[in-house]
Amino acid sequence: MKVTAKQLAELLGGRVEGDPDVYVERPARIEEGTAGSLTFLANPKYEEHIYKTEASVVLVGEDFKPKLPIAATLIKVGNVYEAMAQLVSHFDQKPEVSPGIAATAKIGDRVSIGEDVSIGDYVVVGDDVSISSGCQLHPFVYIGNGSGLGSDCLIHGGVQIHHGCQLGDRVRIHANAVIGSDGFGYVKGQDGKFKKIQQIGDVIIGNDVEIGANVVVDRASLGSTIIRDGVKLDNLIQIAHNVDVGENTAIAAQTGIAGSTQIGPDCLIGGQVGIVGHVKVGAGTEIQAQSGIASDIEPGSRLYGSPALPYNHFLRSYASFKNFPQLISQIRDLEHRIVQLEKKLEQVRPKG
């Protein structure tokens, strides 16, 4: 794809500052930009690079005011990240996959397959499965009995979707994710040994959900584990049985959510967050990385720490407890001085 800055600005509803006729043909990071590339500046932390980048065009915010001359042509837009995401999709040159079923694929009985579906090598599809139009199943995918895929789903290699799980439209699941594995349910018998509680529920995934590589979403013990419309899950996330993740929530890598927890819509959850079971996280909550959530959270909260505290409270507390060794030393020094002063007072205090 080769386009001018003017064409890009028209596509994005932006404004050109510089040469409107300069061509770009590929995206690049701002610190690695070369002639013919398009890049962006959204985080002020990277502003130094815009003054020396060799990229031909840079997307910037409407309020960006350069401190030094810039050689590149600028396109000013309202939301830089959104504009760049829109453009990257235009530059995406993934090879097209032809519809059809590979000779090595194994398709069960009573399987419904829509139009323009691509099923790759060594895919296994169980009985009574529904695969809607436009789906792509890459090699080594497993779809269990009674599962259903909505239209235009993209399932990458090695993904396992176990029996009875239902996916909405335009779901993307990356390599080696597991949907519908057994929840972690056991009870100790009188003999002291754990006995497995059969997990007979399912998993329901809404529309426009993206699930990263090596994510595990457990089936419910009873009822459903639910990932609602627009949810984005990073790699290496554990979603336990009967969890309900609200619409348009994004969760970063290595987060674990224990059973029967409800995550509200529009939440942002950082990496390596741990959330205990049977709690409710309110809508619009933001949780910083490596925080621990052990109780219900009010909507709109911003939390940090383990156990998590309100974000600003944590920062104020951290300013103190990072200095604890020094503070303890000062306290011991003061205690020693007080002891010495008491001894001196005792010596000068009148007798009788």
**Catalytic site positions:** 241
DSSP label of 96? P
Residue pair 271/255 in contact by the 8 Å Cβ criterion: yes
Identify the three-state secondary structure at position 46.
helix
DSSP label of 30? G
Helix pair angle (80-91, 5-12), 10° resolution: 120
Q: Dihedral, CA atoms, 40, 45, 46, 51, nearest 10 degrees?
A: 110
Side-chain-side CA neighbours of 153 within 13 Å: the count stands at 30
Which pairing describes strands 194-196 and 186-188: parallel, antiparallel, or unpaired?
antiparallel
Q: Using CA of residue 13, residue 15, residue 19, residue 20, what is the dihedral sign?
A: positive
Q: Give one DSSP letter per residue of 273-332, joined into a string.
A: -EE-SS-EE-TT-EE-TT-EE-S-B-TT-EEETTTTEEHHHHHHHHHHHTTHHHHHHHHH
Token pair of 188 as six digits? 């100790």
Q: How far apart are CA 203 and CA 177, in angstroms?
A: 13
Q: How far apart are CA 309 and CA 294, in angstroms?
A: 11
- In Å, what is the CA distance from 116 to each residue of 125, 132, 134, 150, 155? 17, 9, 5, 13, 15
Q: How far apart are CA 201 and CA 213, in angstroms?
A: 23
